[in-house]
């Protein structure tokens, strides 16, 4: 049975990566696709763990080769998901999670209409700015630019299947886990998974 593709998007500073990492620690059945980016690593980020860091020229060469499942220009830098990180794992029955922006999510949904998409919102704009400051990764000017950009990003929440407000971290993680569990219990998934059982239950005899 083919795996399920999960999409998680959020504005910068909403806590997306922290929630995703906590969920992955609880759910070993989901593989995280590591995105490619043309931006330089931030303090504490490691190649092939947080992103595959490549130059802008290398990124564009991959685009020209058709290597990307999705890609978009985000805050002035290119980000994308390699086909090799997604398609073989789905075909093998493994669930895959994409931690991407709304532009990439739109591309993915066009290719995989049955993908499950989740958007994470912060509890307020002041809280979003405070979380950006706590990360300590950007200057004040850059954070203000990201806060302005976040308004446009958040306006696309209606394109997603599920919406989580990250006010309490543990609650947000539990809600994300619930979404993943519920998606696996959909009728079509359960029929494919338990076809023999269903046939036996509906057949005459003991």
Per-residue model confidence (pLDDT) at position 205: 64
| pLDDT single digits (tens) 7-27 | 999 998 899 999 999 999 999
pLDDT digits (tens, 9 = 90+) for 47-61: 988 899 999 999 999
**pLDDT at residue 206 in the model:** 61
Q: Does residue 192 register a pLDDT over 80?
A: yes
Report how far apart, in Å, the C-alpha atoms of 159 and of each of 19, 99, 104, 202 are. Answer: 20, 16, 12, 39
Residue 51 near residue 34 (C-beta atoms within 8 A): yes
Min mean pLDDT across 91-105, 124-138, 141-155 is at 124-138
Domains, the chain, ordered by start: 5-33+93-201 (3.40.50.300)
The residue ranking higher by pLDDT, 191 or 43, is 191
Query: What single-letter DSSP state applies at residue 98?
Result: E
3-state secondary structure string across 114-158: CCEEEEEECCCHHHHHHHHHHHCCCCHHHHHHHHHHHHHHHCCHH
Query: What's 76's DSSP letter?
Result: T
> Which residue pairs, CB below 8 angstroms and at least 24 apart, start in 150-154?
150/11, 150/12, 150/13, 150/14, 150/125, 153/10, 153/11, 153/12, 153/101, 153/102, 154/11, 154/121
Angle, CA 176 vertex, CA 136 and CA 52 arms, to 5°: 50
The pLDDT, as a whole number, for residue 130 is: 85
pTM metric for this prediction: 0.87
For residues 100-112, give the mean pLDDT. 92
Q: Residue 96's closest CA among 202, 185, 2, 190?
A: 2
Q: Does residue 136 have a pLDDT over 70?
A: no
Query: What per-residue confidence (pLDDT) applies to 32?
Result: 94
DSSP state of 40: P
Euclidean distance between CA atoms 167 and 15, whole angstroms: 10
Output the pLDDT for position 145.
82
Q: In this structure, are residues 105 and 9 in contact, taking their beta carbons and an 8 Å threshold?
A: yes
């Amino acid at each position: 049975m083919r795996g399920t593709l999960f999409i998680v998007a959020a504005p910068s500073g909403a806590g997306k990566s922290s929630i995703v990492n906590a969920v992955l620690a609880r759910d070993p059945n989901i593989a995280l696709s590591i995105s490619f980016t043309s931006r330089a690593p931030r303090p504490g980020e490691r190649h092939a763990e947080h992103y595959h860091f490549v130059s802008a020229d290398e990124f564009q060469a991959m685009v020209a080769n058709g290597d990307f499942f999705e890609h978009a220009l985000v805050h002035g830098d290119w980000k994308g998901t390699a086909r090799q990180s997604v398609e073989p794992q789905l075909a093998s029955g493994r669930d895959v999670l994409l931690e991407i922006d709304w532009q990439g999510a739109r591309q993915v949904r066009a290719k995989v209409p049955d993908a499950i998409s989740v958007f994470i919102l912060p509890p307020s704009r002041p809280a979003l700015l405070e979380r950006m400051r706590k990360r300590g990764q950007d200057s004040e000017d850059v954070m203000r630019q990201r806060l302005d950009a976040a308004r446009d990003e958040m306006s696309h929440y209606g394109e997603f299947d599920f919406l989580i407000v990250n006010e309490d971290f543990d609650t947000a993680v539990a809600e994300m886990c619930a979404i993943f569990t519920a998606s696996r219990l959909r009728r079509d998934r359960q029929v494919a998974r338990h076809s023999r059982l269903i046939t036996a239950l509906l057949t005459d005899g003991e």
